[in-house]
Every structure is written in structure tokens, then in C-alpha cells.
Amino acid sequence: MDYLNFTHYDHIKGRTLSFLPHLSAPTDKFKNFLLYPYPISYKINSRGFRDSEWPSDLSNIVWCLGDSVTLGHNIPFEHTWSSILQTKTNIRCVNLGIVGASNELLTKMTLQILREYSPKNIVIMWVFFTRRHKDPWNFIDFESLDDDVNLKNFIECYHKVNNSDFSCNIINLLMTDQPKTLLPQSISQNIFHTNKVDYGRDLFHFDYKTAEIYVDHILSKLT
Amino acid sequence: MSPYLKPLKRILVVTSTYENFSNFYSQLLEDNMIDLGKLEDHYISNYFQLLTFLISQQTSIICSVSHQGLFEINETPKFFIKSCNIFFQKIVCFEKPNKWVTKNFQGVNYIKHNL
């Protein structure tokens, strides 16, 4: 299965996302939506990702994986951590954020990149441990399984990526609001986490100030 | 303030008629008073349509509504007016101070303009 061309799947290709708030939304959220001071548009490339087209030479790019936080839902693309990283490094950073992506999907995407592109740097922003899926395109958010099972599932994903036979600098980030303390020390010391310091238009996804904290860490780890 | 993007400037111009706004817009362009960017002016009697339009046009800086159009809104205009007060950083009216406009919009700036 090709995990880097998700628009090839009709049920994804055909879907549209609504970014308009419901008119009966809570006042604070609605106000924030209206008052958000920066322009937001969603331009999707031919592979279905919120990014410009991939360059023809993929030998020196940074692959950025994650979910809607990485995609930059409800923030301008220029405020995404991948875009800020690209601005600061002047190295092409490919945004592979997918709304609702699970850790298992991120694992499979990463393994495909490792197999097919021999990358130098991959940055993964791991997502909610509770977010799992039965098959890659049938997303299930917050499946009500035991916390231990969810944690075990994440740890398996982490090891599949970080203990693979491929030679690549893999930088691990953990999304905000995640209980890093639950992780084994061997993993927690190799995975960066911070709290949100700002919010996007929906008062949920973080904005550029939080992204900059992540980017500062990535810059210290890039090779 | 973001170092990556300039914040939007949103201005609502309340005029008596749509034609008045067109003249006003032309004058703004000639005087280079405001960096207009992309201007979208609309005369819509249904406030839900206008609200949807405003939200979808994140890059628009100025939007006009007709004074008369506001009067013609059959649905309750309170929500719309409240939303306009939230959404626009500045609300201007280039006619002489208008009691109805002043009453319904907060902090209206009046601009002298000879049509």
C-alpha cells in the first residue's frame, strides 16, 4: 500500500473538510474564530498533503510527519512547524500531516519513506496514544481501550521506526497534551515534548509560538 | 505578532447604497489611503450569506454592507451586527453621523467624503 499518495484512495479523495464554525458554537470559540488575525487557506498538493509540490530531488529534504497539528489545521501554513523549520534552515521540509493520523499510520509512512527514499532526516510528531485504527484509512479516534494497551501500541510503533535497519536521523516529537511521564525512560529521553503556549483559530491546535519551541529542538538534532 | 505573516486589517464600510461604496472605493484607490489588497464588496440581504462570505474571504480587508440592505434583513439582525462588531477591527461610514448606524455598531468612524 502506498502511504505517501493518500489521495489515490477514493473515499479520502472525495471528502471535504468544513472549516466553518457552527453558528451555535460556544461564544469564545466563535469569537476567536472571527478574530483570528492571520489569513488561513488550505492548498493541497497532488499527493493530497497540505504543502506545495514535492521537489524532483528528494535527496536533501526533511520529512515531517504527524496529524492535523503538523498539517496546521486552523493556522496559516506559514505557522506550521514544518514551514518554520524550512524558513529557518532553508532546507525543503515536506509536510506529511494528515488529519486524524494514528501512530500506526505514521509508522507505516515512515517505513515507506525509509525504504524508498533513503532520507537523511525524518521528524515525527507522534500523536495521541488513544488514537488507533483498524486499517490505515479507517480512522478511529479515541478507541476506548485500556490505557496500557494504547501505550503498548505506541511503544511498538516507536520501536519499529527507531530500531529499523535503515540509517537515518529520526527526530521524535510528542504532541502537546500527551503524558510523557508514562513512557519508559529509554523512550522519554529520546522524545521531545512541550506544552502549548498559544492557540490557533479553533483554540485547540497550537500556533507558531509553540511550533517554534519544537523547531528549536529539531534544529539542535538535525544532521 | 507573527514574524511570518502580517495580520489582517478588516474594515466594514456601512453605506447607504451599494453605489456609494463603489465611489468610495474608487476614491480610496486614488488617494492611496489604505493598502486595500484584495477588495471584495458585497451587497447581501441575508446576513448568514454575508457572514459565511466574510469567514471564507480571510484575505479580504474591506467589505461593504448597504445601510438599506441592513434594514431589509428579515431575520434578526442582532447576531449579524454583533458578529460584525467582533470581526471588523474598524467600522467606517462616510456619510454624516447616522443615528441608526451609531446605535447598532460600536466605535463607528465617520469619514467625510464628497460624492
DSSP conformation letters of B72-87: T--S-SHHHHHHHHHH
Separation of alpha carbons A212 and A16, rounded Å: 29
Q: Nearest CA of chain B to the CA of A38: how many Å?
A: 5
User: Is B2 in CB contact (< 8 Å) with chain A?
Assistant: yes
Asked if A78's CB is within 8 angstroms of B55's CB, the reply is no
Contact between residue B104 and residue B81 where contact means Cβ atoms under 8 Å apart: yes
Q: Which long-range contacts (CB under 8 A, 24 or more apart) does A138-146 make?
A: A139/A100, A139/A101, A139/A102, A140/A102, A141/A100
Task: Give the pLDDT confidence score for residue A18 in this predicted structure.
Answer: 38
Give the lowest-confidence range in A43-47, A116-120, B25-29. B25-29
At residue A14, does pLDDT exceed 60?
no
The string of pLDDT tens digits covering residues B61-115 is 566 676 666 666 554 467 777 777 877 878 888 767 778 788 888 888 887 655 4
Domain boundaries, chain A: 53-221
Q: Which of residues 19-38 of A touch B (CB under 8 A)?
A: 20-21, 23, 31, 33-35, 37-38
A56-65, A71-80, A117-126, B51-60: lowest mean pLDDT where? B51-60
At residue B39, the pLDDT reads 42
| Average predicted confidence (pLDDT) for chain A | 85
Q: Give the best residue of A34, A77, A79 to mutate against chain B (max B CB count within 10 A).
A: A34
Interval A121-149 mean pLDDT: 76
Percent of chain A with pLDDT over 90: 60
Q: Nearest-CA residue of chain B relative to A207?
A: B2
- Indicate whether B20 pLDDT > 80: no
Burial of A45 (0-12, 13-18, 19+ CB in 10 A): middle
Beta pairing class for B90-93 and A191-193:
unpaired
Min Cα separation A35/chain B (Å): 6
Q: What percent of chain B has pLDDT over 70?
A: 42
The pLDDT assigned to B99 comes to 81
Average confidence (pLDDT) over B38-48: 50
**Which pLDDT does position A188 carry in this prediction?**
92
Contacts of B58 in chain A (CB under 8 A): 39-41
Tell me what pLDDT residue A219 has: 97
pLDDT at B36: 42
Please report the pLDDT score of residue A100 as a whole number.
Answer: 85
Res. A9: pLDDT tops 60: no
pLDDT at A136: 55
- Closest residue, chain A, to B61 (C-alpha): A39
CATH number of the domain located at residue range(s) A53-221 in this protein: 3.40.50.1110
- Angstrom distance (rounded) from CA A72 to CA A208: 10
Question: How do residues A143-180 score in pLDDT, each as one tens digit?
Answer: 666 788 888 889 999 999 999 889 999 999 999 877 77
Say whether pLDDT at B57 is over 50: yes
pLDDT, tens digit, 9 for 90 and up, residues A38-67: 888 889 999 999 999 999 999 999 999 999
How high is the pLDDT of residue B3? Answer: 95
Mean pLDDT score across all residues of chain B? 67
Q: Give the global pTM.
A: 0.78
